[in-house]
Homo-oligomer: A and B are copies of this chain.
Amino acid sequence: MNNKAFQALSYGVYIVSTWNEGTPAGCTANCAAQITATPATVMVSINKNNFTHDCIRKCGYFSLTVLAETSDPAIIGTFGFRTGKDYDKFAHVQWQVRDKLPVLSDGCAYVCCKVIDSMDTATHTVFLGEVIGADTLRTDPPMTYAYYHTVIKGKTAKNAPTYIAEQPEPKAKYVCKICGYVYDGETPFEQLPDDWKCPLCGAPKSMFEKR
A168 on the interface (CB 8 Å rule)? no
Residues of B within 8 A of A124 (CB): 35-36
For A10, give its contact among B11, B118, B120 (CB under 8 Å).
B11
Residues of B within 8 A of A123 (CB): 36-38
Residues of B within 8 A of A2 (CB): 134-136
Given contacts A119-B119, A162-B37, contact A131 B1 (CB under 8 A): yes
Interchain CB contact under 8 A, A162 and B34: yes
* Identical chains bound together, number: 2
Interchain CB contact under 8 A, B122 and A6: no
The count of chain A contact residues (Cβ–Cβ below 8 Å) is 57
A41 on the interface (CB 8 Å rule)? yes
A164 on the interface (CB 8 Å rule)? yes
Closest chain B residue to A99, Cβ basis: B1
| Nearest 3 pairs of A and B residues by beta carbon | A10-B12, A8-B109, A5-B134
